[in-house]
Amino acid sequence: MTQILVVDDNPMIRKLLGMALSRHFSVCEAQDSAAALSAIQRNKPEIIFLDIMMPSANEGLDLLDRLKSDPQTKDILVAMVTSRADPGDRALAMAKGADGFFSKPFHLDAITQWAAERLRPRTGTGTK
């Protein structure tokens, strides 16, 4: 079953994304980078939805850098999520290797569809 990891310091966002995505995928959650790295080792997700702004200012972007520079995790699809309206965030995230970008408030159907479309070529269906 396709595994998706949601990383956000806001428990409501984790729950919202988790509920929407769990209709089609297996979802695990992490509240920060340390928990995310542990979850990645345990669950081997194919997609990570990663908040840019967590407890430290650029924690999400720092984790993105780490994931994309590590041969073990560089192929995991990473979609950044943010509540900031700064257009520079999108450009910076994409330059660092993000595969997608969603601004809060986001449309849950769009996120689910994005995940299914990205996984279809890899797994055949993109759903359970």
Enter the pTM of the model: 0.90
Mean pLDDT of the chain: 90
The residue ranges of every structural domain in the chain are: 3-123
10 vs 35, 74, 124, 127, CA distance in Å?
Answer: 14, 25, 32, 26
What's residue 121's pLDDT? 60
pLDDT range class, residue 127, cuts 50, 70, 90: very low
**Number of residues that this document lists for the chain:** 128
* Domain covering 3-123, topology: Rossmann fold (3.40.50)
State yes or no: pLDDT of 44 exceeds 50: yes
The rounded percent of the chain whose pLDDT value lies above 90 is 74
State yes or no: pLDDT of 97 exceeds 90: yes
Judged by DSSP in three states, 56 sits in coil
pLDDT tens track for 47-95: 999 999 887 767 899 999 999 999 999 999 999 999 886 888 899 999 9
pLDDT tens track for 10-19: 999 999 999 9
